[in-house]
Chains A and B, each alone.
Chain A
Amino acid sequence: DAGVTQSPTHLIKTRGQHVTLRCSPISGHKSVSWYQQVLGQGPQFIFQYYEKEERGRGNFPDRFSARQFPNYSSELNVNALLLGDSALYLCASSLEGNPEAFFGQGTRLTVV
């Protein structure tokens, strides 16, 4: 069975640009969450989606947005990129009612 898949794996963007990151959850998982991990820190929660509805948002500016599609895949969008947005962006999927989360390999975003 395929695990959580994310694309792209690496990305280099310039300050001010926008970026779209994609995630496909494990088959049967309807909940998708996004996390940002900067070097030396643990992942920080950005968003959670379930059945296409936003269930939660972390302490991130409005430049960050996300959505979930009918097939439960998800996109994370970041506008007006800043140098500080450089990080590993992780997508996790889980079964509703089960807090155990399974992560994709992440997208490493570098803003220059």
Chain B
Amino acid sequence: RKEVEQDPGPFNVPEGATVAFNCTYSNSASQSFFWYRQDCRKEPKLLMSVYSSGNEDGRFTAQLNRASQYISLLIRDSKLSDSATYLCVVNTYTGRRALTFGSGTRLQVQP
């Protein structure tokens, strides 16, 4: 079983739609959680950190459920520029700060 699992998609949605991505992680000792965005053939860029209380940044909302080991990302009012791969990322500190990435969920927003 992969440490971080995501639905690979692709998710094809029209502009203005609301889309949700889910992610599960296997290590209950995981401490920090993130969503990164990666455009085609570019480096991953930090989109937002995820906290147990939930957090929002404009059109983006992230939630963490530690009991279920589940992370989500909600994008409201999708824009064409949101088209990218969204990577769910977990940090489990075991003497090193290695990030464990999911395989990513591809989003294509269509006009």
Contacts and interface: CB of A to CB of B under 8 A. Distances in A.
Nearest to A57: B96
A48 B100 CA distance: 13
Given A55-B96, A55-B97, A99 B32 contact: yes
User: Chain A interface secondary structure, helix, strand, loop or mixed?
Assistant: strand
B103 A31 contact: no
Nearest to B101: A42
B97 A99 contact: yes
B44 A31 contact: no
B99 A103 contact: no
Contacts of B42: 105-106
B12 to A, nearest CB: 18
A96 to B, nearest CB: 9
A108 B42 CA distance: 10
A6 to B, nearest CB: 9
A37 B32 CA distance: 21
Given A42-B101, A55-B96, A58-B98, A99 B46 contact: no
B110 interface: no
A99 B91 contact: yes
Interface residues of A, number: 26
Interface in B92-107: 93-104
B22 to A, nearest CB: 15
Interface in A71-89: 88
A58 B95 CA distance: 13
A90 B43 contact: yes
Contacts of B32: 99
Contacts of A104: 43
Interface string A87-112: 01010101000011111111010000
Interface string B10-41: 00000000000000000000011010000001
A99 B99 contact: yes
Interface of B: 4, 31-32, 34, 41-46, 49, 87, 89, 91, 93-104
Given A43-B44, A55-B96, A99-B99, 6 more contacts: A43-B101, A90-B43, A101-B99, A103-B44, A104-B43, A108-B41
